[in-house]
Amino acid sequence: MSLRIPSGMSRRHFLSHVSAGGAAALGATSFLSHLEAHAADVQKAQKACILIWLGGGAPTIDMWDLKPGSKNGGEFKPIATAGDRDLQICEHLPELAKVMDNMSVVRSMSTREADHNRGTYFMHTAYVPNPTVVHPTFGSVVSYELAPKRKELEIPAFISIGGGGMDPGFLGMAHAPFVVDAQGRIQNADMGSDLARLNQRLQMLEAVEDSFIRSNRGDIGKAHKEVYQKARELMTSEQMAAFRVEQERPEVRQAYGSTGFGNMLIMARRLVQTGVPFVEVRNPNGWDLHNDVFDSLRTTHLPQLDKGIAGLVNDLKAHGLFENTVVVCMGEFGRTPRINQNVGRDHWAQSWSVLIGGGGLAGGRAIGKTDADGIRIESDSYLPNDLWATVAHALRIPLDTVHQSKNGRPMRIANGGTPIKDLIS
């Protein structure tokens, strides 16, 4: 008989658990019941990452790194938070302030790409665009590394909620983001008739496909069949309930702010609970605020973000998932410290902030420092490489992992970045 190693654990990790639990002294039967009793814990111990994407580039100077007293300071005041004394954030993020002992802000991102497409690519992949190779977005990397270890997962390992996905690049379409809309609807998942009909059709498909599979043309015909099996599994899986946010009690939805964005975050939590290792949530607001930045932030963008993320942190904690789930919130760049003539801010990649926490990372910290006008960095600065290396570290993906591009070039995970020390110690 073979012992199934709980997925999400390496064999060595598993064995160390076994010996730590003194399993050597137990008989096989009691050992197995021990495993069953802890099955729920194993599920919780699965690592995951939720990326909250602020498309367009958020004015982080008005959110996470305010500059009162500077001509660049804008209209908002900083407030104290549950985190460290120097971790003050915007007054329009009051709910989040209460849980900031769990989350940290990296204030010294410096990422050089201030074009939407290039910045989006860079922040998702840790590589700058290159015409000879398409780098995988980090969710695809996580899917590639962790999906094979989660045999019980019947839905894809990388799910993108609420919009266009990024490219899996040389890791292949099997690790492409599985895109659902804000309501969790999957395109084409509904065949428009009942399960009996689906089964009839698949029976017919088997009769048709069989002759090609037997025609001695290699494995390609069979590979096709396996994809259809997975599609069928998905269409009929009970895990699809993870997309059904309406199953949550109204109180839960209220706790996330009762907004579309809040519901997307609830869906993310449900997916993580099901074992999905990477979820990207596209914030539905546009953050490319060249005009009227303060009005937009005050009236729509920040209140939704505030309640949503605070709700997510509290809810993950209530479900015992927070310690294993990294939450990252960012866009493709920050926005200019200087306020333009339209009371807006333009693209700015030199000095900006990212919100990150959970998954065992340090909370409550302000990491890195910008000058009084928010223009220059006065500490170590960080790249997406370092950010994703930090996430990889938290997900227990070894940092010496190397993938190979289609043309044979070795590609280090997170482009060889180093985990941000103040987040992991």
State the residues that interact with another protein by CB under 8 A: 115, 117-118, 130-132, 134, 156, 167, 169-170, 172-174, 176, 178-179, 186-192, 197, 200-201, 203-205, 207-213, 215-221, 223-225, 227-228, 230-231, 234-235, 406-409
Return left, alpha or beta for 99; rule: phi > 0 is left, psi -120 to 50 is alpha, else beta.
alpha
Residue 159 CB neighbour total at 10 angstroms:
28
Q: Which residues contact 208 (CB under 8 A, 6 or more apart)?
A: none
Closer CB to another protein, 190 or 238, in the complex: 190
- The neighbouring-strand residues paired with 334 are 348
Q: How far is the CB of 193 from another protein (least distance, A)?
A: 10
164 — phi, psi (to 5°)? -60, 140
Q: How far is the CB of 340 from another protein (least distance, A)?
A: 13
Closer CB to another protein, 25 or 208, in the complex: 208
Closer CB to another protein, 134 or 297, in the complex: 134
Q: How far is the CB of 282 from another protein (least distance, A)?
A: 15
Residue with tokens 């209220």: 254
Q: How far is the CB of 186 from another protein (least distance, A)?
A: 7
Closer CB to another protein, 25 or 207, in the complex: 207
Q: How far is the CB of 138 from another protein (least distance, A)?
A: 17
Residue 400 near residue 416 (C-beta atoms within 8 A): no
Q: How far is the CB of 399 from another protein (least distance, A)?
A: 22
Closer CB to another protein, 193 or 254, in the complex: 193
Closer CB to another protein, 10 or 199, in the complex: 199
Closer CB to another protein, 219 or 251, in the complex: 219
Closer CB to another protein, 69 or 408, in the complex: 408
Structure tokens that stand for 203 in this block: 């029976």
Closer CB to another protein, 132 or 425, in the complex: 132
Q: How far is the CB of 102 from another protein (least distance, A)?
A: 34
Residue 81 near residue 91 (C-beta atoms within 8 A): no
Is the CA virtual torsion 355, 356, 362, 364 positive or negative?
positive
Closer CB to another protein, 19 or 187, in the complex: 187
Q: How far is the CB of 220 from another protein (least distance, A)?
A: 5
- Measured CA distances, 137 to 140, 172, 272, 329 (Å): 5, 11, 19, 16
Q: How far is the CB of 160 from another protein (least distance, A)?
A: 11
Q: How far is the CB of 120 from another protein (least distance, A)?
A: 12
Q: What is the four-CA torsion angle of 79, 85, 87, 90, rounded to 10 degrees? A: 0
Residue 380 CB neighbour total at 10 angstroms:
14
The whole-angstrom separation of Cα 50 and Cα 278 is 6
